[in-house]
Amino acid sequence: MKPAPFEYDDPQTVAEALDLLARYGDECKLLAGGQSLVPLMNFRLARPGRLIDINRIDSLSGIKRDDGMLVIGAMTRHSAVEHSTEVAGGWPLLTEAVGWVGHGQIRNRGTVGGSVAHADPAAELPAAFAALDATFRVQAKRASRLIGWEQFFVSEFTTALAPDELVVAVEVPRPQPGVGAAFVEYARRHGDFALGGAAVTIKLDAGGHCEAVSIALLSAGPAPVRATSAESMLRGAIVDQASIRAAAVEATRGLRPTADLHGSTEYRLRLLQTMTQRALIKAAERAKATP
């Protein structure tokens, strides 16, 4: 319906925002694109006492390259990532992944930092960042730090961020030359949260062996899942239907995705296998096509 009463601040600089966070901590909530928070507030499921709206902090937006690394400002909109030639050129996995986020209108408002800080296990960007071994730049009034994706995503809607900390940017290392990437998911409707999905990068040698591989799953558990044992199974192996199938089975071993109205745990598990398999096939084809 409509949100419960709240206080509102709109800092113009990161320093002002960090001041407010230091002062209010747990009592407040950061408002980025608002695509998840605002509906929760309208349902009155979230009732923050204070909103700190960081939409006016220009320095938090933008995509740039820093020493070969991709640096995406936290307030960069999904649509900016989607249409960035920089991203498409060096990090096509992100371009493909971000296209699955909601609908066009949502991508025009939703932000990269908001998506990672919200930490929905069904979200596309956290899984893609996991596959790409991204790191998050985090600031607080008292100190700044870098947090790797593995430490950052703790559980459903839970991150390693302290109440006074702000994600300011995401750093994504440049994939090796010759890597093929693919992001595949299945949702009931276009724009829905994925019932299962996979973000994959793979590099093949001249003989068709897997030189490097990363497999990250979404909607697979409380946080993005890196299928490390499947990765090591595949590394060094000839990449063919059989090895891909075996890796997909291995990738989902031990997972227990949560059942809901749209799918049982068993269904979601098999779907994750299928998605992993399809993503690996696609990524391997792309790797072969890459000079």
Partner 1 sequence: MAVSQLVGAKIHRREDPRLITGHGRYTDDLTRTGLVHLAVVRSPHAHARIKSIGVEAAKKSPGVLGVFTAQDFKDIIAGPATHPVAPVFAPDKKVNPPRYPIAREEVCYQGEPVAVVVAEQRYQAADAAQLVDVEYDPLPAVMEIEEAMKPGSPKAHTDQPDNIAWDATYVPWEATEEAFKTADVVVKQRILQRRLSPNAIESRVVMAEYDPFDKRLTMWMSTQNPHWIRLFVSGALGMGEHSVRVVSHDVGGGFGSKISPYPEDYLVPAVSKLVERPVKWTETRTEAVQNAYAGRGQIYDVEASAKKDGTLLGMRVTQLLDCGAYIGTFGAFQTCACLLAGGAYKWKAISSRSIGVLTNKITTDPYRGAGRPEATHVAERMIDLLAVELKMDPVELRRKNFPAKEEFPFTQNFGLVMDSGDYNASLDKALKLFGYDQMRREQAEARKQGKLVGIGLSTWIEICGLGPGAVTGPATGGVVLSESAQVKVHPAGGVSIYVGTHNHGQGNDTTHAQIAADALGVPIEQIDIRHGDTNEGPGFGYGTYGSRTLAVGGVAINRACAKVVEKGKKVAAHILEAAEEDIVFDQGKFHVKGAPDKSKAFGEVAFAAYGQLPAGLEQGLEAVAYFEPPNFVWPFGAHICAVEVDAETGNAQITKYVAVDDCGNIINPMIVDGQLHGGIAQSIGQALYEEMVYDQDGQLRSATFLDYTIPSMNEIPNIQLDRTITPSPTNELGVKGIGEAGTIAATAAIINAICDAVSPLGIKHVDMPATPDRLWNQIKEARK
Quote the least distance from Cβ 245 to partner 1, whole Å: 12
Quote the least distance from Cβ 129 to partner 1, whole Å: 24
Q: What are 127-130's contacts with CB under 8 Å, separation 24+? A: 127/97, 127/183, 127/197, 127/198, 127/199, 127/216, 127/217, 127/218, 127/224, 128/93, 128/94, 128/97, 128/98, 128/183, 128/199, 128/216, 129/170, 129/172, 129/224, 130/199, 130/216, 130/224, 130/225, 130/226
**In a 10 Å sphere around its CB, with 0-12 CB exposed, 13-18 middle and 19+ buried, how is residue 249 labelled?**
middle
The C-alpha atoms of residue 111 and residue 34 are separated, in whole angstroms, by 9
Residue 285 DSSP SS3: helix
Radius of gyration of the chain (CA): 19
Residue choice 1, 68, 89, 177 for contact with partner 1 (CB under 8 A): 1
Quote the least distance from Cβ 99 to partner 1, whole Å: 13
43 belongs to the binding site for partner 1 (CB under 8 A): yes
Quote the least distance from Cβ 269 to partner 1, whole Å: 11
Residue choice 94, 271, 281, 284 for contact with partner 1 (CB under 8 A): 271
Name the packing angle between helices 265-289 and 241-251 (round to 10°): 140
195 belongs to the binding site for partner 1 (CB under 8 A): yes
The C-alpha atoms of residue 101 and residue 160 are separated, in whole angstroms, by 23
Residue 58 DSSP SS3: helix
Q: Amino acid identity, residue 20?
A: L
Q: Footprint of partner 1 on residues 218-237 (CB under 8 A)?
A: none
190 belongs to the binding site for partner 1 (CB under 8 A): yes
188 belongs to the binding site for partner 1 (CB under 8 A): yes
Stretch that binds partner 1, among 29-37, 77-85, 151-159, 264-272 (CB under 8 A): 264-272
Quote the least distance from Cβ 27 to partner 1, whole Å: 19
Residue choice 67, 177, 189, 289 for contact with partner 1 (CB under 8 A): 189
Q: What number of chain residues touch partner 1 (CB under 8 A)?
A: 23
Residue choice 2, 206, 289, 291 for contact with partner 1 (CB under 8 A): 2
Residue choice 16, 133, 150, 192 for contact with partner 1 (CB under 8 A): 192
Contact pattern from residue 81 through residue 120 relative to partner 1, giving x for each residue in contact according to CB under 8 A and a dash for the rest: ----------------------------------------
Site for partner 1, rule CB under 8 A: 1-2, 4-5, 43-44, 186, 188-193, 195, 260-264, 267, 270-271, 274
